[in-house]
Amino acid sequence: MTHFDADAMHRLAKLALDAGEVTTPDAALALFLQYRLRIHLGVGWANTLAGQACVVTAVSTASRALLGGVEVTGDLTPVMQVPLFAGQRAADVVAALGGAVTAAPTPRLPSLMIGDGPPPEGVALTLRPSWDGWCAQIAPADSADHLTVGDDNPLAGVCAGALAVSEVFSHVRGDSPEAGYRRIGLSLWNPLAIEDWHAPENRGPALAYLPTDLWLIGLGHLGQAYAWGLAMLPYPAQRRPRLVLQDVDRVTESNLSTCLLVGADDVTARKTRVMARRLEAIGFDIDLVDRRFGAQHRLQPGEPTVALFGVDNVAARRDLDTAAFALVVEAGLGSGYRDFRNLRLHTLPGPRPATELWPAQAASQPSTALNTAYQQLAQDSGDLCGVTMLASKAVATPFVGAFAAGLVLAELVRPLHGGGVHASLDCALRSLTHRLGEPTPANARCAFIALP
């Protein structure tokens, strides 16, 4: 009998099993080992924090999604300034994030061109991410429609990097004929702007205030993406945020394919401890809560009253009504092979309480149906239980989480600059122009610091 460990399967490669393209986990991994990317760093990519955030987000998410490898060429001499990697050489950071620095890249790879200069030669397709203020976009590198940096906002860089990797993934998978040949983008200042998202009024103001004193509930795919985004923002070295990190889980092998702040050496360690170590090393003030979030959660005096919620659990979401937070921003991601690039964001309190947004009956878990590939796998292995557990796991990838984190953090930062918030916001990376949302008057604001 072959026993399947559902917590060891690569969570994006799993989509090939779910879609019936392959019949074994090994075949799914072999398929994803064919997907590769080149990232070329041009002139001036490191001149802004947004540019640096774009590069590290692209390298980290691509290396976890495109298993054939991420080759990095170009200017790797700058010293990083984004807080998470401040003081480190770009070449060292790229290598630590899974990129392969090379002077002899493989021909005909799809590529990203980040920074100025001509696109690299000998590539199959080249996309250029760009950013300006609160706006992020990707477009073919030979297009004239690129954003020129006015104001520096790292959240736009995070979104641009994540969106670029998503587009390359669609291209290599062949699931969208337009992927790689279109201009797409959005404004974090006004995410519901569709045709005019790049208009001057949607590029937003310069960053002057940043949130502090936050509670991060759930430290998996989304929770680590939230922390990743926070660690890109230009907090003064001596005034980094206070964060309460809450989770009960330990790092599993499958987390390596979805979570941005864990590595192979962290497997079996508590997620709270791993993240605390990374964030305290760069000056964040960290408190830990090693218990599940639920109906008994009550804030104590002096604790942060603003929460970023990243728990994929309906029952836990329903308990947000009684937790007494002044403000919660939460996101939910699609989990199937068709919808894993979809996301929905809520800001609470809003027009409807959590118990109405997530009715009790939604918490019931339907039985997992096995497609033909999983049925054959169960028959061949004799491990129906293990195969069923594997089939029930979500398809997930960090480029979706990173993009969602940019939108979630914008809901905190935008009101500090006089902008509005959204009771809900829906979008899909595969078809970004289809965005829906429900603006709502700004309610509770989070504690903040003013930038010098």
Residues with a catalytic annotation lie at: 385
SS (H, E, C) 48-90: CHHHHHHHHHHHHHHHHHCCCEEEEEECCCCECCCHHHCCCEH
Continuous segment of H or E residues that includes residue 262: none
- What angle (nearest 5°) sits at the alpha carbon of residue 39, between those of residues 34 and 43? 170
Which of 70, 47, 43 lies closest to 59, judged by CA?
A: 70
Question: Under a CB-based contact definition with an 8 Å cutoff, are residues 430 and 170 in contact?
Answer: yes
**CA–CA distance, 255 with 276 (Å, rounded to integer):** 17
**CA–CA distance, 156 with 139 (Å, rounded to integer):** 15
Provide CB contacts within 8 A for 96, sequence distance 6+: none
Task: Provide the residue type at 410 as one letter.
Answer: A
Question: Under a CB-based contact definition with an 8 Å cutoff, are residues 220 and 180 in contact?
Answer: no
Q: Report the SS3 class of residue 173.
A: helix
**In the chain, how long is the greatest CA-to-CA distance?**
64
Cis, bond preceding 349 (omega within 30 deg of 0):
yes
Burial class (CB in 10 A: 0-12, 13-18, 19+), 252: buried
In this structure, what token pair is assigned to residue 434?
A: 């289809």
Q: Report the SS3 class of residue 367.
A: coil
In this structure, what token pair is assigned to residue 431?
A: 């078809």
**CA–CA distance, 377 with 80 (Å, rounded to integer):** 46
Q: Report the SS3 class of residue 35.
A: coil
In this structure, what token pair is assigned to residue 142?
A: 């030979």
Question: Under a CB-based contact definition with an 8 Å cutoff, are residues 72 and 41 in contact?
Answer: yes
**CA–CA distance, 386 with 397 (Å, rounded to integer):** 22
**CA–CA distance, 86 with 400 (Å, rounded to integer):** 25
